[in-house]
Structure 1
Amino acid sequence: MRRTLFLSVAIGAACVALALTVPSSFAQRDVAVLEPDEAQAELERATRESQRAEARADRLAREADEATEAAEKTAREAAAVAAQIQAAESDIAAARARYSLAQAARAALSDRLAQRQQPLVRLTGALQTTARRPLALSALQPGSLKDLVYVRAVLDSAVPEIRRRTSALRGELEEGRRLEQRAAQALANLGDSEQALRARRAELTALETRQRLASREARSTAAREGERALALAEEARDLDGLIDSIDDAAALRRELAALPGPIMRPANLGGAGTRVPDENLASDPTPSASPSSTIPPRFQLPVQGRTIAGFGELRDSGLRSTGLALAPAPGAQAVAPRSGRVAFAGPYRGFGRIVIIEHEGGWTSLVTGLARIDAEVGDQVITGAPLGVAGSEDPAITFELRRGGEPVNPLNFLN
């Protein structure tokens, strides 16, 4: 019986030693591992942004169902798909963060087990040697009967201790298996999110194709506006000058839109009771849209990611930042921060591909650092409409918000 006990303990100890040397089976994909603190912060951020994106997608999907005009319906469908893409991107970031946390816990467990490995190996060798010797030979070993009694007493006291220690080790090994399952689940979620992301991007591409075909007849006007925007970009000395020029053009359009329309000619000029319209009355503009509310509009971030530079932060150039610098996932979806008109869309020196959107009330938003632009000058976009995608290597997207040409902190006006 004792020989069987020694053998089982030896085998259990050998299994522990073997578990310390076998690499983890789930570390098969090339997934970047973050530090535990960074991974926890990334998990919280990604989970929060995923929930918000899912809520936006549901709301836009309902609005698309309620829309009657084909153009509006397609625009809201595209915005809903873009929100679903951002939700999938956040789910991918959350899965990677969970994987990093599981890997960190696994590494800590391996360190604890490694500290016990050396004495455990020695114990395994001694127990295996003892287990291979028949118990009857222990009575024939050199020494007195008193020594044999001492040996049996030592073994009687050692076996419970061995059981206790191997029980703790077995618990830690079980924890290691749970960590492996957690990491494997994170990798499975990562694969599902990536598959959903590819499907949503394909769906968005199909919607954008439908939009281009539907608006082909208006392309001539868009081409002329695009040429004027490019001319403004060539004349502007810097990005601030370009935005000022766009703001001036927007103010001029608003003034022209506020002018009264033509006065209809009376059907009978010489008829009795005909009165020449009063000149002052004719000059009164027709009441148009009611003035904008004093409540400031709310915007959303164009991309989801870590904030790497805040508003007013000192840059390497020595100047203060006039917006937010965000680090999204490679190829992340960029969307319109609010409904408005695309005033500029294209490359601009030193800023990559940029999009400038005019909003009601003299507001202007600017998104820079895009790798691809899916909007054109003159497009009327809704909140969350796809604008383009970020780069594939170390992307950095800058979001600026201006009112009357003056930069403001976007964080004060976010949903």
Structure 2
Amino acid sequence: MAGLLLIGVLAFSGSVHAQPAGETDSDTVTADMEQRLGRSVGELDRILQERGVSEERAAELAREIETIRTDRAAITTALIAAAKTERKLGLDIIALENRLEALRQSTDDIRASLWERRALLAEVLAALQRMGLNPPPAILVKPDDALSSVRSAILLGAVVPEMRTETARLVSDLEELGQLTATIADERARLETARGQQAEEQARLTVLVEEKRALEQQTAQTLAAEYERLTALAAQAEDLQSLIMSLEADIEAARAAAERARIEAERAEREARQARLDAEREARESEERIARERLEAARQAEEAARERLEASRQRAEELAARQTRIAPLTPFAQLTGQLERPVAGRTITAFGDDDGLGSIARGDTMQTSSNAIVTAPADGWVLYAGPFRAYGNLLILDAGNGYHMVLAGMDRIEVSKGQFVAGGEPVGIMGSIRLAGVTAAATENDSPTLYVEFRKDGRPVDPARWWERAGTGRT
């Protein structure tokens, strides 16, 4: 395109050099301008060629981004699925622990009942001893031996009718005690299996988070470098285009002045040279028209190239923006009764309860397990991610329309400020102990706790409206 512009300029140059000897100064000025214009056009042509190459690179980068976007979406899906699995395992572990506690309580109750009725059982066993059977066993140390002895007493008819009913109750309690002992052993084995599976899911989530972070960094660096190159080339092209337009105006003004001087000098010779001047004027006008058309074509081509470059830049920006969602899918206010809790566990302090420090709780405090995965309750932008006083690591998510979500008490945060996260996506990991700044409420075994607070226009609101209806998680 710049080559056409240069041809038009050279055509003008040829017509100027054909002027009479009396116009040498004007010709020299115009020739100097044309040389400057030629150099500028050559430089513009070089920049436009580089921009053409950069356009090809931008298109190639767009294709790479599309591929990366697909891979990244798969990683995000895997992260959410793994987080759900880890959450279910955490809930299973809590249920198993509660089941074991209930079984242990039932065992203690039966042992206490047997101890209270030890006199009756001793009387039955003494009767058996008098009949010549084995010595009476310890009923609390070896309940199976006691059960066998009592059954033998019933079969032998050694128990008097008045004691037969109480003896039958003893048999039932001893049988239940044996069953509870076996059930406790089974439940402990299931608990150990679930804990092993939870540890595997936590390790898998850690690997997926690191892979996603590395992918984001690589894509952002490549895209930023290409944008910087495109911006620099565009700035150079615009500066040269302004210079070329200025030189064209100067050349046109110089030609007009030379034309007026030439007409004035030739007035005395007009009759003798009229025919030649008419022919020269027609030829010159034809050349000027062709040159103007070529200049206009060059300008139009340059404008088209600029439009193509802008379109490529916009496509690259659109593709980069589509790597992840950049806005919540559903307004936060419409998600009532649909949000999953960020951790698997139970709520030990709810919104509006006494926080243990003489104030009213402005959010929910959830007890969870060591190294539990923390997920985003809903879509949002990361406003803050880092340590805050005695609360451990603090995360603030902007859910849009004046809503914010605050999560405190994590040992590690896996997202950064300005990042957009999807609901259910892992954002952090709990530690192994409770942080004093999170809650004053006592917890079993000093388990870690996560503080969750929802805000609307800067004021705390009750999170209970947004949690899933399947269960309150409250104990």
TM over 0.5: yes
Opposite residue 411 of structure 2, the aligned amino acid is: A
Higher relative contact order (CA 8 A, sep 6+): 2
| Match status 1:72 vs 2:110 | no
Counterpart for residue 401 of structure 2: 361
In 2, the alpha carbon distance for the partners of 1:323 and 1:156 equals 66
Look up the SS of the partner of 2:334 in the other structure.
coil
Normalised by the length of structure 2, the TM-score is 0.50
Q: 2:334 aligns with which of 280, 291, 296?
A: 296
Is contact 1:301–1:399 with CA below 8 Å preserved after alignment? no
| 1:327 Cα deviation from its structure 2 partner | 1.7
Counterpart for residue 388 of structure 2: 348
In 1, the alpha carbon distance for the partners of 2:190 and 2:358 equals 43
Larger helix proportion of the pair: 2
Q: 2:374 aligns with which of 312, 334, 337?
A: 334
Compared CA separation, residues 296 and 157, structure 1 to 2 (3 A): closer
Is contact 2:88–2:344 with CA below 8 Å preserved after alignment? no
Compared CA separation, residues 377 and 156, structure 1 to 2 (3 A): closer
Q: 1:313 aligns with which of 353, 370, 373?
A: 353
| 1:362 Cα deviation from its structure 2 partner | 2.9
| 1:166 Cα deviation from its structure 2 partner | 3.7
Q: 2:462 aligns with which of 404, 409, 413?
A: 409
Alignment of 1:8-407 (within 5 A): 69-131=70-132, 158-160=159-161, 164-217=165-218, 296-298=334-336, 299-393=339-433, 394=446, 395-407=448-460
> How many residue pairs end up in the alignment?
266
Opposite residue 69 of structure 1, the aligned amino acid is: T
In 2, the alpha carbon distance for the partners of 1:290 and 1:176 equals 55
| 1:290 Cα deviation from its structure 2 partner | 12
Look up the SS of the partner of 1:131 in the other structure.
coil
Structure 1 alignment gaps of length 5 or more = 1-66, 133-154, 222-266, 272-287
In 2, the alpha carbon distance for the partners of 1:295 and 1:161 equals 70
Is contact 1:327–1:396 with CA below 8 Å preserved after alignment? yes
Is contact 2:110–2:173 with CA below 8 Å preserved after alignment? yes
| 1:408 Cα deviation from its structure 2 partner | 1.5
Is contact 1:334–1:390 with CA below 8 Å preserved after alignment? yes
Look up the SS of the partner of 1:296 in the other structure.
helix
Is contact 1:76–1:382 with CA below 8 Å preserved after alignment? no
Is contact 1:88–1:197 with CA below 8 Å preserved after alignment? yes
Is contact 1:354–1:369 with CA below 8 Å preserved after alignment? yes
In 2, the alpha carbon distance for the partners of 1:76 and 1:156 equals 70
Deviations 1:332-362 (A, max 9, x none): 2211011122221110123210111122323
| 1:297 Cα deviation from its structure 2 partner | 3.2
Deviations 1:265-306 (A, max 9, x none): xx99x99xxxxxxxxxxxxxxxx9999769533433212322
Look up the SS of the partner of 1:215 in the other structure.
helix
Look up the SS of the partner of 1:350 in the other structure.
helix
User: Identity of aligned pairs, percent?
Assistant: 28
Structure 2 alignment gaps of length 5 or more = 1-67, 134-155, 223-295, 301-325, 434-445, 469-475
Compared CA separation, residues 220 and 349, structure 1 to 2 (3 A): farther
Look up the SS of the partner of 1:391 in the other structure.
coil
| 1:387 Cα deviation from its structure 2 partner | 1.4
CA-atom RMSD in angstroms? 3.4
Stretch moving more, 212-221 or 397-406: 212-221
Stretch moving more, 293-302 or 190-199: 293-302
Deviations 1:355-414 (A, max 9, x none): 111223232111001112122223221111111122212322111112222221111222
| 1:68 Cα deviation from its structure 2 partner | 7.6
In 2, the alpha carbon distance for the partners of 1:215 and 1:346 equals 20
Look up the SS of the partner of 1:322 in the other structure.
coil
Is contact 1:362–1:404 with CA below 8 Å preserved after alignment? yes
Look up the SS of the partner of 2:390 in the other structure.
coil
| 1:165 Cα deviation from its structure 2 partner | 4.2
In 1, the alpha carbon distance for the partners of 2:87 and 2:328 equals 35
| 1:74 Cα deviation from its structure 2 partner | 0.5
| 1:98 Cα deviation from its structure 2 partner | 0.6
Counterpart for residue 53 of structure 1: none
Is contact 1:352–1:368 with CA below 8 Å preserved after alignment? yes
Compared CA separation, residues 294 and 193, structure 1 to 2 (3 A): closer
In 2, the alpha carbon distance for the partners of 1:410 and 1:290 equals 18
Is contact 2:96–2:191 with CA below 8 Å preserved after alignment? yes
Compared CA separation, residues 358 and 131, structure 1 to 2 (3 A): same
Counterpart for residue 11 of structure 1: none
Opposite residue 365 of structure 1, the aligned amino acid is: M
| 1:193 Cα deviation from its structure 2 partner | 0.9
In 2, the alpha carbon distance for the partners of 1:109 and 1:128 equals 25
| 1:170 Cα deviation from its structure 2 partner | 2.1
In 1, the alpha carbon distance for the partners of 2:330 and 2:167 equals 73
